[in-house]
Amino acid sequence: MNTLETIKQHAAQEFEVKNEEVDVDAPFEQIGIDSLGLVEFIFELEDKFGIRLDASKAEGLKTLRDLANHIDELITQKATCAESS
Amino acid sequence: MRRVVITGAGIVSPIGQDLAGFGEAVIAGRSGLRLLAAMPDVGLEPLVVGAVDFDTARHFSRPQAKQLDRVAQFSLVAAREAVTHAGLELTESERDRAGIYWGTGLGGAGTLEEGYIQLYREKTGRIRPLSVVMGMNNAAAAQISLEMGLRGPSQTISNACASSAMAIGEGLRAIRRGDAEVVIAGGAEALLTPSVMRGWQMMGTLARTDSTDPARSCKPFAADRSGLVLAEGAVALVLEDEERARRRGAPILAELAGYGSSSDAVHLSRPDAAGQIRAMRAALADARLTPTEIGYVNAHGTATEVGDAIETQALHGVFGDSVPPVSSTKAVHGHLMGAAGAVEFLAGILALHLEVLPPTAHLDHLDPACDLDYIAAGARAARGLGAILSNSFAFGGSNAVLVARRYA
């Protein structure tokens, strides 16, 4: 399963909505994730994917798709670091 | 001076998770206390507690529950019942004059403990970001204000075992002053965490487990009493300006007639009769009642050796040789700490409303140092009961006393 799909499923589970009802391109507020909820949601995804988001970067993320893309970048960076070390 | 009436009540407790269930159990003297098994990995020995079998999913969606410590969950459930019971509907402008006065000793104790587990035991450094807003002592009051749209004054009072009695008393004063017309007042506690329970065990003030029945372990005023039983829960009352309540035809449970408080300034944990007497007298004066007009006292009655004897002395100090019937309902629901004052005042309100005095359960062998009528033989009819008094005496030497009067 790709990152976006994993996040979508996690959001559906945590916010008690059907998977197909999660709009990955809608602003977080629109799908029921407020600022506090987002901080907690990111915290859970960090553990799920084994990465850490920079708080200043997270501020610029507006949708689940933005979040998935950023997490993919971090996963790639982590893999690159692991290979070079 | 404005009069203040109680128009609704809600409760989550070890002996009932609604008003009807609590009322029935407290009058029947049916204990909700039970033995909790040892937790050897953290050094916790077995102990009797008043735990609530709380079904979070029945009351909250998953996203809601994730943002609420157990103490806030109890608080919201109690407040919802109280508001429904009162038939309270607030217009937009009335919300600005509706307040929340809430008491809690340890607030979001479970959330804080979970953070410590991650930090010190799991060593992950991964503390949930919501820990701050879930663990803070005013979180429960904030959640009630948010859900119910209360935009008037908000206060959280943390004065150990006197917290919720003081919150109710301060809510009374807020309405009298004209700061609010409606107040949700009460308190909550959810401190049955391993570190809190272990701390109490180390202090040596908890009840020994009764060898025949753990549910009978809390024995206020008994010669064989051995200490208190930690418990959890919440109580919310709807306090209203009397004129407002009458105008809208609200059901009136009782008048919240008086509140008194004092500090012992004697010792951090040992109670002091003089301080207790000052608080009781202040509450009676505030209610403009004489001692002879009180028909029932819900005692603080924690079932500690020192506490029950000193409270008995203090009651003599206020009422002389004519102390009205007294009971400690802690025998059945345990010591709800920050919520204790509200739970026990509610027992007194129900006594007024139903005209029946709740008993002190498990009192088979009276301590000679406790020489009052403790309603030991079961609930007692009290036709025409006119007024009740409820005592809450806290560690730290803070005393709070509430008085309610039959509404007529």
Task: Count other Cβ atoms within 10 Å, centred on residue B122.
Answer: 10
Where b means 16+ CB within 10 Å and e means fewer, A41-73 reads bbbebeeebebebeeeeeeebebbbbbbebbee
Query: A9 is in which domain, residue-wise?
Result: 3-84
Beta bridge partners of B240: B5, B182
- Closest residue on chain B to A42 (Cα): B129
A84 vs B145: CA distance, rounded Å: 54
Torsion of CA B17, B20, B26, B32, to 10 degrees: -30
Contact B34, B48 (CB under 8 A): yes
Q: How far is B129 from chain A (nearest CA, A)?
A: 6
Say if the Cβ atoms of A40 and B129 lie within 8 Å. Answer: yes
pLDDT of residue B1: 86
DSSP code at position B262:
E
pLDDT of residue B67: 95
Active site residues of A: 34
Local confidence band at B195 (pLDDT 50, 70, 90 cut-offs): very high
The string of pLDDT tens digits covering residues B336-388 is 999 999 999 999 999 999 999 999 999 999 999 999 999 999 999 999 999 99
pLDDT of residue B173: 98
Instruction: Scan for tokens 């002879």, then name that residue.
Output: B292
- Please tell me whether residue B236 adopts helix, strand or coil conformation: strand
Contact B6, B182 (CB under 8 A): no
Task: Please give the tally of structural domains in chain A.
Answer: 1
Query: What are the residues whose beta carbons fall under 8 Å from the beta carbon of B287, sequence distance 6 or more?
Result: B257, B258, B387, B403, B405
Return the closest-CA partner of residue B168 out of B401, B351, B7, B329. B401
DSSP code at position B259:
E
Q: Which helix (H) or strand (E) holds A81?
A: helix A64-84
Instruction: Find the mean pLDDT for residues B96-109.
Output: 98
Backbone angles phi, psi at B383, to 5 degrees: -60, 135
The string of pLDDT tens digits covering residues B28-71 is 999 999 999 999 999 999 999 999 999 999 999 999 999 999 99
B106 vs B196: CA distance, rounded Å: 9
pLDDT of residue B130: 96
- Active site (annotated) includes residue B161: yes
Q: Considering chain B, what percentage of its residues have pLDDT values greater than 70?
A: 100
The string of pLDDT tens digits covering residues B288-310 is 999 999 999 999 999 999 999 99
Mean pLDDT of chain B: 97
Q: How far is B126 from chain A (nearest CA, A)?
A: 9
Is this complex's ipTM strictly greater than 0.90? Answer: no
Contact B81, B236 (CB under 8 A): yes
B292 vs A33: CA distance, rounded Å: 59
Backbone angles phi, psi at B281, to 5 degrees: -65, -40
Token reading at A6? 């994993």
> Which site among A43, A48, A53 would you substitute to test the B interface, given the most B Cβ atoms closer than 10 Å to its Cβ?
A43
Say if the Cβ atoms of A43 and B129 lie within 8 Å. Answer: yes
CATH number for domain B4-247, candidates 3.40.47.10, 1.20.120.80, 3.30.70.1400, 1.10.10.60: 3.40.47.10
Domain boundaries, chain B: 4-247, 258-405
Return the closest-CA partner of residue B169 out of B360, B356, B398. B398
On whether the B258-405 domain is CATH 3.40.1080.10, my answer is no
In chain A, residues with a C-beta closer than 8 Å to the C-beta of B133 are 36
The string of pLDDT tens digits covering residues B236-251 is 999 999 999 999 999 9
In chain B, residues with a C-beta closer than 8 Å to the C-beta of A43 are 126, 128-129
Contact B401, B283 (CB under 8 A): yes
Size of interface A-B (CB pairs under 8 A): 27
Alpha helices in B96-223, H assignment, sequence order: 109-116, 131-135, 139-148, 163-177, 194-203
Separation of first and last alpha carbons in chain B: 17
Torsion of CA B78, B82, B84, B85, to 10 degrees: 130
Beta bridge partners of B98: B182
